[in-house]
């Protein structure tokens, strides 16, 4: 891997994390109908199409939210090795960390490289038409 490859990967990883910021209501906790605890984020269920992966910023961390088979799961996208932002590769159905080429399977379990633990899960609860993360 060259320094140029690493720079490009870091930019792509950061851009992927920012996608969550660019989505209008996602990441917005200014919901007057829900009492959210500090650090919690509410996302409208309507913003989570079935089978789609969305990135939401919770605190300072990118969290992937996946709605599939009538359930919603959330996973921290911080590598468990040194905290770089991992990204989903749909073609291979794995998460890849750009820093040291750590890899995780589709369930977030480490399968190659230095990551010592699975990607952390984030608590999810459904409140009416909202998904609360954290």
Write out the residues near ligand FES by the rule CB under 6 A: 79, 81-82, 84, 97, 99-100, 102, 113-115
Secondary structure of the chain as H, E, C letters: CCHHHHHHHHHHHHHHHHHHHHCCCCCCCCCCCCCCCCCCEEEEHHHCCCCCEEEEEECCEEEEEEEECCEEEEEECECCCCCCECEEECCCCEEECCCCCCEECCCCCEEECCCCCCCCECCEEEECCEEEEC
Q: How far is the CB of 119 from ligand FES (least distance, A)?
A: 10
Q: How far is the CB of 100 from ligand FES (least distance, A)?
A: 3
Q: How far is the CB of 82 from ligand FES (least distance, A)?
A: 4
Please identify, using beta-carbon distances, which residue of 9 and 54 lies nearer to ligand FES.
9
Please identify, using beta-carbon distances, which residue of 36 and 94 lies nearer to ligand FES.
94
């Amino acid at each position: 891997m060259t320094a140029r490859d690493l720079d490009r990967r870091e930019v792509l990883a950061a851009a992927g994390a920012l996608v969550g910021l660019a989505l209008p209501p996602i990441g917005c906790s200014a919901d007057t109908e829900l009492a959210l605890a500090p650090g919690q984020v509410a996302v409208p269920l309507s913003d989570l199409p079935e089978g789609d992966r969305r990135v939401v910023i919770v605190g300072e961390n990118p969290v992937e939210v996946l709605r599939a088979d009538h359930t919603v799961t959330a996973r921290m996208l911080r590598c468990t090795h040194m905290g770089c932002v991992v990204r989903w590769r749909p073609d291979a159905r794995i998460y890849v960390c750009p820093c040291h080429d750590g890899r995780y399977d589709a369930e977030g379990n480490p399968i190659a490289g230095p990551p010592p633990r699975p990607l952390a899960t984030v608590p999810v609860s459904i409140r009416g038409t909202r998904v609360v993360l954290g």
